[in-house]
Amino acid sequence: MPFKFCPECGTAIEQGAGFCGSCGHRVGGAKATVNPLPLAGIISLVALLVLGGGFWLYFRLAPEQPRPLKPGERAPGVMANAPAPGVGAPGQGGPPFQLPDDIKTYMADLQKQADASPDDKEKWKTLAGVYYRASRLDPSYGQKATTAFEHLVGLDENDLDGLRGLGNLAYDRQDRPAAIAYYERYLAASPADAEVRTDLGTMYYESKQPERAIAEYERVLATSPSFYQAHFNLAVVYDSSGDRTASHAALEEARDLSTDENVKQRIGALLEIAREQDLGLTEAAAALGQNAPPPGAPPGGPAAPAAQAAAPADSFTGAVEQLFRGHRIAGPKVVAIEWPEPTHARVMMAGFPMDQMPEVMKIGYLGKMSTGVKAAQDRFEVDGPVKVDLVDQPTGNIMATVDPAQSQDQP
């Protein structure tokens, strides 16, 4: 049967292709090039192998360790907890995510394959990408990712994936001079890449070079005027330079260009209070109970707009709302939760492409939510059938229904 995504690593598959271009898996059902993982391993792995297409782009938007967010990693809409500009480099904070043993075995197999083929760019590119995504969960994999990308660049000094990967790793560890050097080399070969040029601007800003940062953001907007992130970053840099008029104008552009209603509301609230009280973005964010935004991150933080606040968790409805709003990936996409009946919820979501979600991920997510709803039902002794409809807010279509009667323990 045809696959839309590789069942081994999650990469989008071109129509008619017999093999996955990233991991080598035969999509016609033949034995994979590395041992196939059990279901639990696949569910964990696909969160790492974000190699393109549909829902995999969405997993690039998942909240990560606190740090300045990269436009190439997240689309507008993810509210990040981040320190105010100028406070200093954020720490990683918290213990690293413990990768399952089968994922570690999978990566070890990829390493063996790459070591056995030192001149095979594709194998080293796949290995480097996997290690990089693992480092987003466990920073100890950052050095392995660096080594793999360096090997790739050693094979081809102008390899764009290698240069961007090394730039991103330097960005992550706040090594600004290295990030700037790699991004400049990348842009010498690919000058129209808006995401990398915006990253470069952010590194200039954090290196106390606001004029160069503004110049890079303006170069992006000269060719990509609708690139939301460059407008937002300009607002932050102008604000730090004391030009509130320019900052508010750029923030207004960012708000208007955002396709995420949640982001529009947050930026709108930030802009309104900044203009009404003639405040800088840091002061306006503090007045709203949000964390101040660095370049690369829309305003946000723990405090959500009052209209979107979840009910107290000391009730069945409150526990269910906290379950859906608190999900690491899907939570930021919840616009509102309606209760037509005491045991029937409608979770309104925007920008959550369930129709593009690989089946194994859909099963994992719905199973986890079913188990959580069932736990709330048992805890508060709620009788009768319970259901939660997941609704695409822009269209009103029901994307899926969470049925706690079908719940089971999920990995």
State residue 402's pLDDT score: 93
- Calculate what percentage of the chain has a pLDDT beyond 90: 34
pLDDT tens digit sequence for 218-258? 999 999 998 888 998 999 999 988 899 999 999 999 889 88
The arithmetic mean of pLDDT across residues 37-64, rounded, is 32
| pLDDT value at 35 more than 60 | no
pLDDT band at 392 (very low <50, low <70, confident <90, very high): confident
State residue 154's pLDDT score: 95
- 2 in Cβ contact with 18 (< 8 Å): no
State residue 289's pLDDT score: 60
Write the single-letter amino acid at 30.
Answer: A
Q: What share of the chain is helix, strand, coil (3-state, %, to 5)?
A: 50, 10, 40
| pLDDT value at 49 more than 70 | no
Higher pLDDT, 134 or 10: 134
Higher pLDDT, 363 or 26: 363
State residue 25's pLDDT score: 45
CA-to-CA dists, residue 342 to 204, 241, 316, 345, 386, angstroms: 53, 52, 9, 8, 9
pLDDT band at 326 (very low <50, low <70, confident <90, very high): confident
The arithmetic mean of pLDDT across residues 288-309, rounded, is 46
CA neighbor of 292 nearest in space, from 63, 66, 62, 59: 66
Least confident residue range of 41-50, 146-155, 214-223, 360-369: 41-50
Q: Which residues of 149-158 are buried (b: 16+ CB within 10 A; e: fewer)?
A: bbbbbeeeee
Higher pLDDT, 315 or 165: 165
pLDDT band at 350 (very low <50, low <70, confident <90, very high): confident
State residue 81's pLDDT score: 27
pLDDT band at 360 (very low <50, low <70, confident <90, very high): low
Average pLDDT taken over every residue of the chain: 73
Higher pLDDT, 33 or 382: 382
CA separation for the pair 245, 247 (Å, rounded): 5
pLDDT band at 193 (very low <50, low <70, confident <90, very high): very high
- 3 in Cβ contact with 19 (< 8 Å): no
State residue 34's pLDDT score: 38
Give the predicted TM-score (pTM) of the model: 0.55
State residue 285's pLDDT score: 75
Higher pLDDT, 213 or 384: 213
| pLDDT value at 292 more than 70 | no
Winning range, highest mean pLDDT, from 163-167, 374-378, 403-407: 163-167
pLDDT tens digit sequence for 60-117? 223 333 334 443 333 332 222 222 232 223 333 445 567 778 788 888 999 999 999 9
The arithmetic mean of pLDDT across residues 376-391, rounded, is 91
Write the single-letter amino acid at 314.
Answer: D
The arithmetic mean of pLDDT across residues 309-319, rounded, is 69
Beta-bridge partners for 341: 344
- DSSP H stretches of helix in 190-260: 194-206, 210-223, 228-240, 244-257
The arithmetic mean of pLDDT across residues 283-309, rounded, is 52
State residue 309's pLDDT score: 40
| pLDDT value at 163 more than 80 | yes
State residue 56's pLDDT score: 25
State residue 180's pLDDT score: 96
Long-range contact set of residues 261-266: C-beta below 8 Å, sequence gap at least 24: 261/335, 261/350, 261/393, 262/77, 262/79, 262/308, 262/332, 262/333, 262/335, 262/350, 263/76, 263/77, 263/79, 263/298, 265/305, 266/79, 266/290, 266/298, 266/299, 266/300, 266/305
pLDDT band at 204 (very low <50, low <70, confident <90, very high): very high
| pLDDT value at 274 more than 70 | yes
Dihedral sign for Cα atoms in the order 131, 357, 329, 66: positive
pLDDT band at 358 (very low <50, low <70, confident <90, very high): low
- Calculate what percentage of the chain has a pLDDT beyond 70: 68
Least confident residue range of 136-140, 171-175, 248-252: 136-140
Q: How many helices (H) and strands (E) does the chain have?
A: 15, 4
- Here the tokens at position 154 are 């050693």
